[in-house]
Amino acid sequence: MSGPGPTRAEHGDHGARARGRGGVADGFGGRLAEAMSARGPLCVGIDPHPGLLQAWGLPADPVGLERFALTCVEALAGEVAAVKPQSAFFEAYGARGIAVLERVIAETRSGGALVVLDAKRGDIGSTMAAYAAAYLADGAPLAADAVTLSPYLGFGSLTPALDAAAVAGRGVFVLARTSNPEGAEVQRAVTESGSSVAQAVVDAAAERNAGASPMGGVGVVVGATVGDSGLDLTRLNGPILAPGLGAQGATAADLRRVFGAATPWVLPTSSRDVLRHGPDATALRAAAARVRDELVADR
């Protein structure tokens, strides 16, 4: 499954590629589909939690953060389809932590994996536009291949980010049905149209993806441990980011039960179950390969 991925130069200016050739496949959805086909359907989280730093024998400071994060990049960037840095764990160290995050994004993409920045941003107007400029604009130091967004100020509030992503050929993953117990109160609430709030998010994402091939760049987040999500994902025509594989309890077999016919478009994420094999980069790489191969065998 593994092999040489796109070089940093090949990733380059996503917007120029999307605009210059005009092909939908040049956008994030096409690149993700290609990466999942070539490297398997796995995204590994880079979550430098203080407890993990301690388990690796590293100090909970910017030096330890950098060693942890760049070891993950060394182990994973050439092996998996995508990595998902959790922005909050880098932000906790201030400017030095953000500098490490910039390196993680650049060096991961140089190694060939896509970067899904887990930032869960959501706001309105000019503030949302500023988030879009930070995470989705060509040339921005924190620009990733995709970023997670929260739609709970209204899906329409995300328009600046959705438009910026489309122009730059990048992607977004919008929170739809998350696995935290508190989320159900909002996400399962019924709208005036009779659908759940989570289904309304999925349907709005599907509208943005209409006509894209092989799939659009507006994905949704649905937890792998939610059981029956109650969602119709068949018309999404976009990727589904599914946290919860491994330490949180979800297995490869669970993915089929949760996502059914939409399983081919699911990008499961695993963090602690892989990261606990550090600090040895070879052991980390082997752990990720085992998880990936289990996912491939079970599809």
Residues tagged active-site: 120
- Euclidean distance between CA atoms 224 and 255, whole angstroms: 6
- HSE of 186, CA atoms in CB hemisphere, 13 A: 14
Biggest CA-to-CA distance, the chain: 53
Dihedral, 225, 227, 230, 232 alpha carbons, nearest 10: 70
The 3-class secondary structure across 33-95, one letter per residue, is: HHHHHHHCCCEEEECCCHHHHHHCCCCCCHHHHHHHHHHHHHHHCCCCCEEEEEHHHHHCCHH
Cis preceding-peptide flag for 239 (omega within 30 of 0): no
Residues 6+ apart with CB under 8 A from 233: 202, 220, 222, 240, 259, 260, 262, 265
| Element (DSSP H or E) covering residue 118 | strand 114-121
Q: How many CB atoms within 10 Å of residue 243?
A: 24
Structure tokens at 188: 């399962």
- The DSSP letter of residue 213 is S
C-beta of residue 230 within 8 angstroms of C-beta of residue 188: yes
